[in-house]
Each structure stands twice: as structure tokens, then as C-alpha cells.
Amino acid sequence: MVAAAALSEFARGGYHGTTVAHVARAAKISPAYVFKLYPRKEALFVAALEACFDRILDALSEGADAAPSPSPAAVLEAMGDAYAALIRDRTLLMLQVHAQSVAEIEEIGSALRAGLARVTEFARDRSGGSDDDVQRFMAYGQLCHLIVTARIDESPARWAQILSQGIRHPD
């Protein structure tokens, strides 16, 4: 419950713009109780980030289960489709962006790398794809992040069309 509230609040305001009091209010508990559970703001952010990656892995697993064939390409594409549907609600996406922006805070950077490791290893193991296939999958996901956060797909400019060509996000 507290990690879910932290995920939502940190996604909205970022690490620096969100206080423990904001999270406590969203969780309907006292700031003192939040500090009892998470003695430092960094630990609270890490809990939110871990919850974020748990939800991502659940979506990727569901996507892989729905793949039309067991081929690596089909599984990775189905996982990508599931992720695109998941980030339709920008909460998880924005938390990842905020985590990247404060990755120099060791505890947060370490949690971000651990989450990315979990996703990468899951994609490799579940799809059976090559390292190159998985690298393209991850790179494509990062490009999707950029397109969504910067609203590139809304621009008619040629450069924007180049970046967003062939990338689709569910409405």
C-alpha cells in the first residue's frame, strides 16, 4: 500500500519534488509511520521502483503467454505490445524517467540497474532470443519512452516521423 502510493506520488512529482508527507497523505498514514517502514526517502523511492519493475515483469509475462508462436521474435513482439499497453498509463513510465534523472544517488541507481537487469534477463530467458535480439528489444523500449514522454508522435515534422515510424501505442 505504501509502495503503491510512493510509486504514484514519485511518478507525479519526481524524487526531489515529492516529500514523504505527500506519500503518507496518499497512503492515508502518518509520515512517522512511513519513516518507520522506510527510514530514508531513498528507501521509499527504491520500494516504489521495485514495485514498478514488478508490474512491468507481470505485463511482460502476460504478453509472452499471449504470443502467437514460441519464436523469439513473436515472444518479444508480444511482450513489447504488452508493455506499450501498460505505459498507456504514464505512471510507470514517469517513475522510470525520474529514476534515471537521479540515478547518481547510489541506492536509486543500484535499484534502477537491478530492475533493468531483471527485465533484460526475463526477456532473454522467456523469449529465447539472442543477445542482439534482446538488446534491440530494450533499445526499442527506450525509444518508446522518448516518443511517449516528449510526445514526438504528435509532431508532423520529418524528424519525428523518422523516430516514430512503425511504433504504435494502444489508444
pLDDT of residue 145: 87
Prediction pTM value: 0.91
User: What separation in angstroms does the CA of 139 have from each of 119, 136, 144?
Assistant: 12, 5, 9
CA pair distance 147, 149, nearest whole angstrom: 6
CB atoms within 10 A of CB 43: 16
Domain holding 93, by residue range, is 50-164
53 pLDDT higher than 90: yes
133 pLDDT higher than 80: yes
What average pLDDT does the structure give for the chain? 95
Has residue 57 been placed in a domain? yes
170 pLDDT higher than 80: no
CA pair distance 26, 6, nearest whole angstrom: 8
Has residue 18 been placed in a domain? no
pLDDT of residue 166: 81
Q: For the ranges 33-47, 48-62, 156-170, which has the lowest average pLDDT?
A: 156-170
SS3 78: helix
Has residue 2 been placed in a domain? no
CA pair distance 69, 19, nearest whole angstrom: 46
pLDDT of residue 171: 55
**Averaged pLDDT, 8-13:** 97
CA pair distance 117, 14, nearest whole angstrom: 22
45: which 3 cell numbers? 523511492
Has residue 8 been placed in a domain? no
Structural domain count, the chain: 1
Has residue 97 been placed in a domain? yes
Has residue 34 been placed in a domain? no
Has residue 78 been placed in a domain? yes
Cβ-in-10-Å burial (0-12, 13-18, 19+) of 87 comes to: buried
pLDDT of residue 87: 86
